[in-house]
Each structure stands twice: as structure tokens, then as C-alpha cells.
Structure 1
Amino acid sequence: MMDKLMIVEDSLENVDGGFAFLGRLPYYRGLGLSMIEDIQITIDGEVIPRENVRFTVRGKTYTLDEMETVYDDRWNFGEKALITALKPGGLAAGPHKLEMAVRNRVSYLPFVPTTKCVKDLALAA
């Protein structure tokens, strides 16, 4: 159910060096950033390489590799994080299909869940 709320409507924008949107954690509790194993972004069928994804929460920006060792920061339930994809030139104005998949580690689960959200968003001109 929370997968439908992962990508925040009307948040897609071009930024210096790529594009960004707001995303929510697909889990009913907050998690330490080291427990977020991966955030995969796909735009219009193009997978953004892991090394080109940035995660920003409460003014602090991390690469996904950096997040693996961040033990003193969290992504809280319902909190909107800025997810940035480095993509030269950003995106053209108009409709885009955005996919976000988050894989997180939860100590009491015997598996590593990956939750995915797909939304059609429009980028204003």
C-alpha cells in the first residue's frame, strides 16, 4: 500500500546536473540510512546508474555508497527526501514515466524487501 505514496506528485524538476523529485520511504517506520541498501531510479525506461543517484534529507546530501556507513541519520516515516539523478541536460518538458525502487534491510525480516513505485509525471516547461 505504501508503494503508491513513494513518489510525491508534482515534485519532478530539473536541477543543475540532472533532475530531482521528492520520495518517501516505503516502510511504516523510519530507518537508519545505513539500512537503505539501494534506491534505483528509472526515467522513461532508462536506468540511472547507482553512482549518479543522490539522496538529501534535512539538508544533508549523500551518495548511495556513503549511506551504507551513515549510522547517525535516518529517513523517517512520511518524510520527503530529495532524490536527485545526475543526467546531463536534465529532462525535456512534458510527460515522463518515473520509477523508483527502494531496497531496505530490516533486522527482523528474513529477506530484503524491494518496494517499487511507478508514476507518470509531467515536467513543466
Structure 2
Amino acid sequence: MFDKYILVDGSLRSTADGFSFDVMLGYYRGLGLSMIEDLVVSVDGQAVPRDAILFDEGKGPIALCDMEHAYDRRWPFGSKATIMVQCPQPLAAGDHHLSLKEVLRISYLPFPLVAEDSKTLTLAPTLAA
């Protein structure tokens, strides 16, 4: 439904221990974090291990394995969240193909809703200190 808006253009950034990018919810209503079954990330065709992914809807980073018990946290529709990927090798500056699959548990659906987006995002070069 809202798949083409999931990955936020211009949001790819380097971090101290990997990279991050902003995302939107691929569903027309907000969801509690406990209703997000999975977030599957790949960069340049390589799958990112699930335990290397952190999610932050504005209340601080949370590991995917801890989201199923995050009953007090909610991702509102229309708000950006950040996905942080921890990786030993930093991404090089330039274009990178990112893919994200959101697997969402919706109370009135007898199956998980899967929303997906793939885009080429550009990582700006970092300035030397």
C-alpha cells in the first residue's frame, strides 16, 4: 500500500559502528512495536544479520529480539523511524542499494502483512577531522 514510501530518500548516514537510514511504516495506521514481527534489511544484495539491526522510533534504540515485548512503545503512522545497522566494515561513500521488508502483525488479518521497498541511497563522504 505505502511500500514506495518506506525507505526515506537522502537518509543514509555513517555511524560510529556501521550505518543508519530512516524509514516509514508501510501500513495506514500506527502499530505497537510488539506487532512488528521482523525487519529484514539488505544492502548491496547482502542480507544483514537480524542481530546487527537496531530500531528507533524516537524513544531510543531497541534490538529486534526485544521488540516483541515492547508493549509501551508505538510507531505512529507518518513518523520516521531510524534503522541502525552494526557492521565491522564501514560503507564506502557513494550509492548503495538498500532493501527493507517489514513483516507486520495486524489484528484483523489472519496472515502477516509484508511491506517492502528497495531504493538506491547515497552515502555522502565524511569530512576528515
Structure 1 ranges of 4+ moved more than 4 A: none
Aligned length: 125
Residue of structure 2 in register with 1:6 after alignment: 6
CA distance in structure 2 between the aligned counterparts of 1:76 and 1:111, rounded to whole angstroms: 21
Tell me the secondary structure at the aligned position of residue 60 of structure 1. coil
Identity score, percent: 45
Question: Residue 115 of structure 1: CA displacement?
Answer: 1.0
Residue of structure 2 in register with 1:106 after alignment: 106
Paired AA for residue 33 in structure 2: L
Residue of structure 1 in register with 2:95 after alignment: 95
CA distance in structure 1 between the aligned counterparts of 2:54 and 2:79, rounded to whole angstroms: 16
CA distance in structure 1 between the aligned counterparts of 2:75 and 2:39, rounded to whole angstroms: 13
CA distance in structure 1 between the aligned counterparts of 2:105 and 2:91, rounded to whole angstroms: 32
Question: Residue 90 of structure 1: CA displacement?
Answer: 2.0
Residue of structure 2 in register with 1:32 after alignment: 32
Paired AA for residue 114 in structure 2: T
Residue of structure 2 in register with 1:55 after alignment: 55
Residue of structure 2 in register with 1:73 after alignment: 73
Please tell me whether residue 86 in structure 1 is matched to residue 80 in structure 2.
no
CA distance in structure 2 between the aligned counterparts of 1:106 and 1:120, rounded to whole angstroms: 29
* Structure 1 segment 109-120 matched on structure 2, within 5 A: 109-120=109-120
Consecutive unaligned residues of structure 1, counting only runs of 5 or more, are: none
Deviations 1:80-101 (A, max 9, x none): 0010011113200011100010
For normalisation by structure 1, the TM-score amounts to 0.97
CA distance in structure 1 between the aligned counterparts of 2:81 and 2:99, rounded to whole angstroms: 15
CA distance in structure 2 between the aligned counterparts of 1:26 and 1:18, rounded to whole angstroms: 24
Deviations 1:22-60 (A, max 9, x none): 001100000000000100110001100000000012232
Q: CA RMSD in A?
A: 0.8
CA distance in structure 1 between the aligned counterparts of 2:59 and 2:34, rounded to whole angstroms: 17
